[in-house]
Amino acid sequence: MANKFEKMKITLNQVMPIPLASMQHGEHSIWGKDIELLHGNKIMLNASSGKGKSTFIHTILGVRKDYTGSVTFDSADISQLNTSDWTNIRQQKISAIFQDLQLFPSITVKENLLLKNNLTQTFSTDEIFGFLDCLGISDKWEQQCGLLSMGQQQRVAIVRALCQPFDWLLMDEPFSHLDDENTQRCLKLIIERCAELKSGFVLTSLGDDHGIQCDQTLML
Amino acid sequence: MIQKLLFRNQDRKQLIIAMLGAFMGITFLIASVHYLIRLNEFGQGSEILGPNTIIVQKKVTNSSSLALTKTDFSEREIEKMEKLPFIEKVKPVVSNNFDVSFETADPLVPRFRSDVFIQSVDPTFLDVHSNKWHWKEGDSYVPIIMPRDFLVMLNTFMSASNIPQISDDLAMDIRFKFTVSNQTKKVWVDARIIGFTNEVSSILVPESFMTYGNEQFSLGAEKKITQLMISGKENEFGKVEALLKEKGLESKNAQMVAGRLKSVIGTLLLVVMGISVIAVFLSGLVLIQYMQLLMSKNEYEVRTLLRIGYAPKILIHTFFMYFVKIFGIIAALGLSSFFILKYFLDEMFTTGGIYLNTTVSIATFIVLAMVYLFFAIASFQSASKGIHRHF
């Protein structure tokens, strides 16, 4: 499975989430169309609330399966992938920052990050601590995650997503609780990491481009 | 770290109650299996008759003394008894219909002679090697099973004659002989003791020897069947006893007491075993249910771990190992308390004159291993189902 998606291209073939099927979609909406996400591209996905940004992220991550059409990674239909394939993809190929962050509030920041990093041993503990330092929250290292502000938690979730190798980084409104200065710090870290891995990303947003030069802009 | 995440903030009350139930269930289950096996073995080997076997005859009453009722068994009576579900087999005890006397024939032992009464029974009732228990005309000696009372009598005679008494083993080395005769002819046949019995009052000989004697030296009148050998099924001795009462039959009291004791304790142990199986099953069920509760309490954690790349098998393994370790602790505690219980029970049995084999039977460990395996499979399946539900 490690080599099955060497340079992973994601294709959506007339994908329509069933809960959104009854809605009227705009002319430029990707729902129900054939879309290719080319490996290494920086993709911005703009849409207003309720148009299916999180559904898009969850569908590609294999969390949601309630759609018509098909999604393929290279030539493999993701509906045919087994548990072991998905585990491998989530460890090595696609990383995600969820809109609701999905951190573990009862354990510390350090434990949250190591829990992810231990899967692939991508970074040393010092390197992870360094990422937090870059984002200005290294003093929260031993603090229980649930006690942090939303902005601080969002930065922890960003660092967690970087603690693995990936071809694609899926980000679901990752800066919604951050000011511009912190957003730019986070973006810098993300872009550096993507460049290092020659990876692409999909960034969903309510319309703000955060000053990023994107290769592709998609609408929902 | 996953353990810290998944097993924190548990409500351990239910877990402790289930553990306690499983612990008690396992203790009593293995104890009842052990003692059931040892009880069934009790008495085997020490007696020449097979287990649950008794010799019965009709009670002699005033009317039978006056020949108003019969004391012998008809073919039909035997057949009817054989058909009863709690009876394993019924065979007549054949007695000699010829004159026979028994005497020592060894130069090392003073001469002792007595007219005796010999009997033969179906060999399947006897716990002796078949190669030892056979005779044909021309053989150098007849194997015999001697009533232990006869040896006591012989030793009394030895003691009175100022001669050293003889043990069981020595008696088996002494040469004896039978004098078989009727009004017209007489033969001498050497005999050798191959075993002793407390249950039968006469000398037992192989059926072939009895047939030979009865054919060659018959005293004329047909010999009636006055005694039967009955073998009852395991733990159903109470029914055999009831049958004896109903049919007006009697048996040696010792045989009855041993059979009754085994039957009663055996039934009690079966009841304890049944309750223990239910207790183990129910507490196992509560433990599995507790695992499911834990998984559903940690639904968010499980789902998130899967989303960030944890393989289901890692999470299944985490839950599985946690509960297998818990059950391992229960099994170890159960086994330890069984040994403590066994120490006191063995003491009690010994004090009561019941000398059971005190070695722990292998079946005890097999049962424990089976219960453990059953729980391990059930918890693995439950963990697997619970985790895959979130994928």
Min Cα distance A168 → chain B (Å) is: 14
Picking from A83, A116, A160, the nearest residue to B312 by CB comes out as A83
Euclidean distance between the first and the last CA atom of chain B, given in angstroms as a whole number:
21
How does DSSP classify residue A93?
Answer: I
Beta-strand ranges (E) seen in chain A are 10-17, 34-37, 42-46, 67-73, 76-77, 94-97, 168-172, 200-205, 216-219
Disruptive mutation site among A82, A88, A102, A167 for chain B (greatest number of B CBs within 10 Å): A102
Minimal C-alpha gap between A26 and chain B (Å): 31
For A57, which residue in chain B has the nearest alpha carbon? B307
Q: Sign (positive/negative) of CA torsion A170, A172, A176, A177? A: negative
Among A3, A7, A1, A2, residue whose Cα is nearest residue A197? A7
> What is the per-residue pLDDT for A204?
92
Q: Binning pLDDT at 50, 70 and 90, where does residue B285 land?
A: confident
Q: Which residue has the tokens 């297998």?
A: B324
Confidence of residue B63 (pLDDT cuts 50, 70, 90): low
What pLDDT does B108 receive? Answer: 76
Q: A82-96, B188-202, B258-272 — which is least confidently predicted?
A: B258-272
Q: Low-confidence residues of chain A, pLDDT below 50? A: 1-5
pLDDT of residue B44 exceeding 50, the answer is yes
Q: Which residues does B149 contact at the CB level (< 8 Å), separation at least 6?
A: B201
Which range has highest mean pLDDT (A127-131, B95-99, B129-133, B199-203)? A127-131
Q: What gap in Å lies between CA A7 and CA A146, rounded to an integer?
A: 37
Evaluate the CA torsion angle A83, A88, A91, A92 in order and state its sign: negative
| Residue A18: other Cβ atoms inside 10 A | 12
Q: Is B2 buried (19+), middle (13-18) or exposed (0-12) by CB count in 10 A?
A: middle
| pLDDT for B137 beyond 50 | yes
- Extents of the domains making up chain A: 10-102+166-219
How many residues does this entry show for chain A?
Answer: 220
Query: What are the structure tokens assigned to B234, written together?
Result: 């395991």
Report the interhelical angle of A180-197 vs A125-134 (nearest 10°). 140
Interface residues of chain A, partner chain B, Cβ below 8 Å: 61, 63, 83-84, 86-87, 90-91, 96, 98, 102, 104, 106-107, 111, 114-116, 118-120, 160, 164
Identify the closest residue of chain B to A97 by CA–CA distance.
B308
Of B8, B305, B307, the CB nearest to A61: B307
Query: Mind giving me the DSSP string for A169-208?
Result: EEEESTTTT--HHHHHHHHHHHHHHHHHHT-EEEEEESS-
CA B378 vs CA A190, B302, B327, B370: distances in Å? 45, 20, 12, 12
Q: What is the mean pLDDT of residues B356-372?
A: 86
Higher local confidence (pLDDT), A169 or B86: A169
Record the tokens describing residue B18, joined without a space: 């289930």
Contact at CB, A90 and B308, closer than 8 angstroms: yes
What is the reported pTM?
0.66
Are A114 and B1 inside 8 Å of each other by CB? yes
Taking CB atoms and an 8 Å limit, are B312 and A115 in contact across chains? no
Closest-CA distance of chain A to residue B384, Å: 12
User: Does residue B2 have a pLDDT over 80?
Assistant: yes
CA dihedral B21, B24, B25, B29 (to 10 degrees): 180
Sign, CA dihedral B112-B113-B119-B122, equals positive
Among B54-58, B146-150, B314-318, the range with the most confident prediction by mean pLDDT is B314-318
Chain A residue with the nearest C-alpha to that of B5: A107
Q: Rank B39-53, B245-259, B340-354 by mean pLDDT and report only the highest.
A: B340-354
Q: How many Å apart are CA A167 and CA A170, to the nearest integer?
A: 10
Q: Do A83 and B8 touch (CB under 8 A)?
A: no
The radius of gyration of chain A from alpha carbons, rounded to an integer in Å, stands at 17
Q: What is the pLDDT of residue A1?
A: 43
With a cut of 60, say whether residue B65 has pLDDT above it: no
pLDDT in the model for residue A200 = 92
Q: Which residues of B touch A (CB under 8 A)?
A: 1-2, 4-5, 8-9, 301, 304-312, 388, 391
Mean pLDDT for B141-162 is 82
CB contact under 8 A, A87 and B301: no
Q: Treating both helix axes as pointing N-terminal to C-terminal, what angle do A180-197 and A150-162 enclose, rounded to 10 degrees?
A: 10
Which residues in B lie closer than 8 A to residue A94 (C-beta atoms)? none
For B374-391, how does the pLDDT look when each residue is reduced to its tens digit (9 = 90+)? 889 999 999 999 888 877
**When comparing pLDDT for B382 and B238, which is higher?**
B382
Q: What angle do CA A149, A152, A154 make, to 5 degrees?
A: 110
Q: Could you please state the CATH topology (level 3) that the domain comprising A10-102+166-219 is classified under.
A: Rossmann fold (3.40.50)
Reduce the DSSP state of residue B247 to 3 states and report it.
helix
User: Above 90 in pLDDT, residue B185?
Assistant: no
Assign residue B240 a region (left: φ > 0; alpha: ψ between -120 and 50; beta: otherwise): alpha
From its phi and psi, is residue A66 left (phi > 0), alpha (psi between -120 and 50) or beta?
beta
**Is the Cβ pair A83, B388 closer than 8 Å?**
yes
- Residue B171's pLDDT is 82
Indicate left, alpha or beta for B9 from its phi (over 0: left) and psi (-120 to 50: alpha). Answer: left
Mean predicted confidence (pLDDT) in B126-149? 82
Q: Where is average pLDDT lowest: A62-76, B187-201, B214-228, B287-301?
A: B214-228
B346 contact partners, CB below 8 Å, separation of at least 6: B356, B358
Chain A nearest-CA distance from B347, in A, is 54
Using CB atoms, which residue from B301, B309, B391 is nearest to A91? B309
The values of phi and psi at residue A173, to 5°, are 45, 65
The residue whose two tokens read 């190591």 is A114
pLDDT at A46: 87
Q: What is the pLDDT of residues B12-38, one digit of tens each?
A: 887 888 888 888 888 888 888 888 888
Least confident of A84-93, B268-277, B352-361: B352-361
Retrieve residue A51's tokens.
């148009």
CB atoms B1 and A119 under 8 Å: no
Of A83, A107, A116, the CB nearest to B308: A116
Q: How far does the CA of residue A175 sit from the closest CA of chain B (Å)? A: 19
CB pairs < 8 Å spanning A and B: 49
Contact A87 B4 (CB under 8 A): no
Asked if B1's CB is within 8 angstroms of A90's CB, the reply is no
